[in-house]
Amino acid sequence: TSTAGLLSTLNTVELRKEIDDLTGRLDEAIAAHTIPGWFERGCRKRELTAIRTAEPITVDGRLEEAAWSSAARIEHFVDWRQLRLESLETVGRLAYDDQTLYVAMECFDPKPADISAAMSGADQYRLCDSVEVFVAPRSGNQFTHWIVDSFGTVFDARTEKTVDGRTSYTAEWNGGAQAKSTR
């Protein structure tokens, strides 16, 4: 069969109905793929200030050090693909000392046995239950990217803006991050 032969067999009544249905949902489709200005402005304003800790924090997946109880919380994360709050709450905190930036993430899940951790090793990222952290200096010319799964496996990468303005992203960069998790 030729393309012309296929087109001639289309039922124009059914085609018209589908076009009318799509046209009736056009505003809904546009809204689903447009980030509202209030949402974008609100997300850009969210900041979390790290607290300074006098003593190093043990990276063990527990939040027992005093620094964590006084650290500011960031919560109510948003699913940027659907422009709505995530269905499960996550709370983040930051602390630092002279040598290290510490990131704590508490991910609340009513079914911890169903958590999927699929990264087979460091820098072997696959979609799974994980947290992502992006850290950028105020200069804005680069950022680092960490993904940690529920077993504490780390994927790390880094981006830099090149002289010509392009962004270069490399997963070959290894920042030496340590991660531990508990359930």
Please report how many Cα atoms fall inside a 13 Å half-sphere around the Cα of residue 63, on the Cβ side: 18
174-183: per-residue pLDDT in tens?
888 899 988 8
Q: Which residue has the higher pLDDT, 88 or 104?
A: 104
- Split at pLDDT 50, 70, 90, the class of 136 is confident
Residue 176 pLDDT:
86
Alpha-carbon distance of 124 to 173, in angstroms, equals 13
Residue 75 pLDDT:
86
pLDDT at 53 over 90: yes
55-93: per-residue pLDDT in tens?
899 999 999 999 999 999 988 877 766 667 788 888 999
Q: How far is CA 5 from CA 8, 14, 63, 82, in A?
A: 5, 18, 68, 40
Burial bucket for residue 135 (CB in 10 Å: 0-12, 13-18, 19+): middle
